[in-house]
Amino acid sequence: MKVSQNWLKTLVDIDSTPHDLSEKLSIGGFEVDNLQDCSENVNGVVLGKVLSVIKHEGSDKLSICQVDVGHVNNLQVICGAKNIKPNIFVYVATVGAHLSAANLTIKRSEIRGVMSEGMICSLQELGLEDSSDGIAIVDQDIAIKHELGTPAAILLDLKDYVYDLAITANRPDGMSVLGIAREISALLEAKFHFPELSNKYKIKLLKNLDLCTEAITSNCIYTITSIEGLNGIQLSPSWLKDRIEKSGIKSINLLVDITNFILLERGQPLHAFDKDKVSNLIGKEALPDDFSVRKAKEKETLRCLDGEIYELNENITVITCSNIPIAIAGVIGGLETAVSDTTTSIFLEAAVFNPVSIRQTSKEIGIRTESSSRFEKGISFKNTIDSVTRALNLIEEFFGDNNPIINISKELIHDEQFIKLRRSRIHKILGPILPKNSQSINSDELDKRNLSDKEIEDKLKLIGCILESKEYGWDVQVIPNRSQDLCREIDLIEEIARLIGYDLFDLKLPNPIKPGKLSLSQLALKKLNNGFIENGFNEVLSYSLVSEENNELIKISNPLLLETSCLRDNIWKEHLRIINRNIKVGQTSCWIFEVGNIFHKKIEFVQEQILSGAIYGKRKLEKWVDSGKDNDLNYYEARGKLNEAISSLNINIVDKATDSIDFLHPGKTAELFVEGKEAGYFGEIHPRLILEKQSLKKIYLFSLKVNNILEASTRKNKWIPIYKDFPTVPKMERDINLIFNKKYLISEIISQIKKTGKSLLENVDLIDVFEGEDLGNNFVSYTFRLSYRGNEKTLIESDITTIHSNIISTLENRFNSKLRN
C-alpha cells in the first residue's frame, strides 16, 4: 500500500519527520518497506526564465540561450528543443544535478565550441512523463507566483514523500488511507480529521436481486447506483491525479479516478459500468434489478479491462446484467462495458464479497488486482454505503446534482456489538508500567504503577473505539474497519500495550528462572537424527501440502494453489522425486531421511509422525577401486545402513517379509516390528515403477513410526546402560544343524532357542545356511552356534545336556524341523 505524506497531512496533524514516522509505523505494525522522496529526481532543478535565444553558428538545431535562475549572473545554456524561445519560464537543471530518468549528471561542458552551464529540461527528462515533444514550458500564471531559482519540486508539487507499507492479513484497515491516518493519529497522539459527507442519498432495497450465496454471504452486501449527466472526457483535477498516481494507480479520467480514489481513501473497491453500453449489450434499457451475481458457466468467456479474453468456469464468480457476464466479481471489469470518453451515464457498483470466493476467483484466472487484494483480506459491509456516498459527493461536486438512488441488497441493521473489557484483566496481562526514560535503571528501585483508566480510554479512543464505563471496566464498541482484528478482550489489551509501548512495561520473568531441558523422547529423537547424519545420510525437508491425487487425501479449506490443496499421506513420493533429480544431475549416490508428519482420513483426521527416507547407490571415496562395478547396493547392504543409523537407540528391530506394500518389490520388502508392534517398513522400489520411469534407478525406501521407536528406546532398561562384570569363567559352545521349511523366519527360530535355553544360554549365532536339491525346493539347512556360560563355575557336559536336548526337541516340535545327518 503506497500513500503520500501530503495526503496524510490533510487527515492528521503530523509533526514528525518522514523517517521518524516510518520507524513509528514499523514498530506499530505497519512496516515501511520503502520511503521514497518524490523530489529526489529533480534535486538541483530550478525555475528559470529564458532571456534570449541565438542560433548556434556550428549547428542548425542548437540554440544558445541566456537564462535567469535568480543568480547574480545569468546562465548560458545550449538547447536543441524546437519550442525554445525568449521570455518563457522553464525548468533548468544546474551544474551538479543528477537526472535519474535520463541517467545524466549535469556538468559545465563545451558544445561545438560554446560553453553550456546547465540544461533546460523536458518532463520526460524529469521522469514525470513517458515521452515529450520538447522542453517543459511553465505556465506563466504559476511561474510569476514564485521567484526565479525556486526548486522545481515546489512548482511540480513534488515536495512529498511516499510510504510503501507492507500490510499484514490481520490489518485490512491498513489498505485504506483513512486507516493509515487513524493509526498515525494513535501513534503520534495527534488530531484525526475524518472527511465529512456533504450530502446523503435515498436508499432503496432491491428484494429480487439474484445473488450467489457463496459470494454474497450474511456479512456481505451488493449495491448498484444509476448516475446520469456525466462526461467521460473530463479529466481529474491535479490534487486528485497527484494522490492516486503517488499511490501507484494511473490516472484515466475523472469518473474512473473517483472510483480509484475511494478505493484508496476508504479501502472500498468500486466499479463503474457505462450504462449505455450495458443497455446495448442486453438489448434493452438496463435497470438495477437486472444485475446479479452468479458462478460462471463452463467455457463462458469475457474480455476484460486488460485486453485479455478469459475462459471462465464454475469456480469463478461473475457480475451479470440480464444473465450476461459484464465483470469478474471483485477482480476486474469487462472491457465491453467500460467507461470511456463517450460515457454520459454509469452504474456505480459497490459490494462486499466473501474473501474465499474472491481468492478462488483470483487464483483461477491468474491475476491479482488492487480490488481483489482488499476483498481477500476482508472489509466491512458497514462502510460500503458511506463509501458510495463519498463517491457520489465527489461526482456531484464536478458534474452537478442528479439525486441518485443507492440500491442495496439487504437492509442495514445498526446493531451495536460490545466487547467486555475488564480492568483487572488488563492489569494481570500487562503488569505494571515503568516511568519513561528509566529502562537503564534497576526496576526494583522504580515506582511502578498500573495503567490508569484515563490512559486506557485515551488509547482506545485514538483508534476510534466507543467506550461505556462499567463497574468491571468498559464495554467497548469497535469501528467497522477494525472489526476483523479487534473482536476479543485480549485483542483490545494487546492494542493498548502496542499503543502505550511494549518497552514501557515491567519484565515479568519467573523468579528464579529454571532452565528447560529436553524430555527423554526429544533426546531420543535427537540421537536418532544424529545417528542418520553420522552414517552419511542427508536430512531433507519437504512440503506437507500436495495436490489432490485421490479422494483419500484430506483437503484444506482455503488452499493458495491447487498444487498445495491437500495434506500428504506419505513422504516417499517426494523422496523419490528428490532421488530422481539427483540422478539426473549425475549424482552416483543419494541417502536422505526426513522426520515429518503424514495425515490420514479415518473416523477422525489422524496426524502421525514418521521418519522416512531413501537410499540410492554406494557412498565411497576411492571410486577407482571398483569404478567398473555395479554401483547399486544389494538388499542386505542397504538394510545394514538403516540398522547402523538406528543402532544408537539400543532397540531390536525384527524384519518380517511382506508383499502387501504395492510400491515395493514383493520379494524384497520387510515390515519392521519393535516389541511386537508394527514400526514401519523397508524395501526395494517395485520394478514396475522403474519400467514406468517413476524411479530412474534401484532405490530402497524405508519408513519408521517415530512414536513406537521412541517408546521402545526410552524404556528404563533400554535408555539407561546396564553394566555387567566381565565373565570369570569360560563359555562352552555347541553347534546344531537342522532342516527347516523356508516359510519360517530366522528371527522366530532364534527367539525360540533363546526362550528355551535362557537359564544358561548366553548367545545364539547363525553361522551357516545351505540349500540343495537333496533338501527339496521348500527347505533349507541352518547351522546355529550356541554359547553356554555359568555364573560362578566352569560348565561341564552334564550341565548343558538337558538344556541342549530341550532346545533341539522344541525346534523339532515347534517348526517341524529335523536334525541334519
Q: Is 443's pLDDT higher than 70?
A: no
For residue 661, give the nearest of 673, 669, 653 by alpha carbon. Answer: 669
- The pTM (predicted TM-score) of the whole model is 0.68
Q: What span, in angstroms and rounded, lies between the C-alpha atoms of 362 and 364?
A: 6
Specify the pairing of strand 202-205 against strand 405-408.
parallel
Per-residue pLDDT reduced to its tens digit, 226-244: 999 999 999 999 899 999 9
Question: With 0-12 CB in 10 A as exposed, 13-18 as middle and 19+ as buried, what is 754?
Answer: middle
**Confidence band, pLDDT 50/70/90 cuts, at residue 759:** confident
For residue 256, give the nearest of 370, 384, 346, 325 by alpha carbon. Answer: 346
Specify the pairing of strand 538-539 against strand 590-601.
parallel
Polymer length in residues for the chain: 821
With cell 464495554, the residue in question is 475
Question: With 0-12 CB in 10 A as exposed, 13-18 as middle and 19+ as buried, what is 270?
Answer: buried
Q: Is 442's pLDDT higher than 80?
A: no
Q: How wide is the angle at C-alpha 223 spanned by C-alphas 266 and 265, nearest 5°?
A: 10
According to the model, what pLDDT value does residue 774 have?
85
According to the model, what pLDDT value does residue 503 have?
84
According to the model, what pLDDT value does residue 719 have?
84
For residue 496, count other CB atoms closer than 10 A to its CB.
21
According to the model, what pLDDT value does residue 350 have?
96
For residue 373, give the nearest of 332, 327, 339, 316 by alpha carbon. Answer: 332
Q: Is 137's pLDDT higher than 70?
A: yes
Mean of all residue pLDDT scores within the chain = 90
With cell 481513501, the residue in question is 265
Q: How wide is the angle at C-alpha 245 spanned by C-alphas 244 and 247, nearest 5°?
A: 65
Q: What span, in angstroms and rounded, lies between the C-alpha atoms of 36 and 18?
A: 10
**Confidence band, pLDDT 50/70/90 cuts, at residue 632:** confident
Output the nine-digit C-alpha cell for 24: 513509528
Q: Is 627's pLDDT higher than 70?
A: no
Q: Which residues of 542-563 are buried (b: 16+ CB within 10 A; e: fewer)?
A: bebebeeeeeebeeeeebeeee
Percent of the chain past pLDDT 90, that is, above it, reads: 67
Q: Which amino acid is at 623?
A: K
Q: What span, in angstroms and rounded, lies between the C-alpha atoms of 723 and 589?
A: 39
Q: What span, in angstroms and rounded, lies between the C-alpha atoms of 278 and 270?
A: 17
Q: What span, in angstroms and rounded, lies between the C-alpha atoms of 93 and 96?
A: 8
According to the model, what pLDDT value does residue 660 have?
92
Residue 164 CB partners (closer than 8 Å, separation 6+):
1, 2, 32, 33, 34, 35, 36
Per-residue pLDDT reduced to its tens digit, 664-686: 999 899 999 998 899 999 999 99
